[in-house]
Amino acid sequence: MNIILEKLEHADLERLYEFELKNRTYFEKMVPSRGHDYYEYKIFKEKNELLIDEQAQDISYFYLIKNDNGQIVGRINLVDIDKSQQLGHVGYRVGEEHIGKGLANKALKLLLAMVSNLGIKHIAAKTTTNNIASQKILEKNGFKYIGTSDDEFDMNGQSQKFVYYKWSDSEANVE
């Protein structure tokens, strides 16, 4: 499946809301919940409109991963950009019906190809100890393991820790 990355726009909000609702249970198995309020459309819309405003200021970038038919199959974000350090933080998620097809890997490759145009030379990432697939995707794309937090937190009845990675364009060794 071919994919493209498109910046989040106001016109995408209803379809993005449907995508998030449909995949909520699946996402919350791998990452901490965004909270119940996030899934009330009015609040969802307000929060995502703020993200669009943030994007307009070049503080963060929010991309939708879309297939050939324009269907949203995931999201990938570059946030908390520190221009003085040329650093951003990446996060991504692919809908449950699209996992195992290499879409997160392809989306991350596409994002990494774009970051030099955004003035980013370093990207930080974190995932949870149970999200082995995400760890493999990061490593495949040249991210280096930095460490695992000492602090544990409960997610879905399981004790988890955050696992940290970093990518630098000068060190990238992509498979």
Q: Quick check: 175 pLDDT over 80?
A: no
pTM higher than 0.85:
yes
**How many CB atoms lie under 10 A from the CB of residue 21?**
13
In angstroms, the CA 162 to CA 56 distance is 30
In angstroms, the CA 24 to CA 34 distance is 9
Residue 28 pLDDT level (bands cut at 50, 70, 90): confident
CATH-assigned architecture of domain 3-168? 3-Layer(aba) Sandwich (3.40)
What is the predicted pLDDT for the residue at 172?
A: 55
Q: Quick check: 115 pLDDT over 60?
A: yes
Closest-CA residue to 55 (of 8, 22, 2): 8
Q: Of 24-33, 103-112, 134-143, where does mean pLDDT reach its minimum? A: 24-33
- For residues 175 and 161, the model is more confident at 161
Q: Of 70-74, 123-127, 149-153, 168-172, where does mean pLDDT reach its minimum? A: 168-172
Which residue's structure tokens are 């995502």? 48
Q: Quick check: 171 pLDDT over 70?
A: no
69-98 pLDDT, tens digit per residue, is: 999 999 999 999 999 999 999 999 999 999
Contact 142, 102 (CB under 8 A): no
35-62 pLDDT, tens digit per residue, is: 889 999 999 999 999 999 999 998 999 9
In angstroms, the CA 145 to CA 103 distance is 21
Q: Quick check: 136 pLDDT over 60?
A: yes
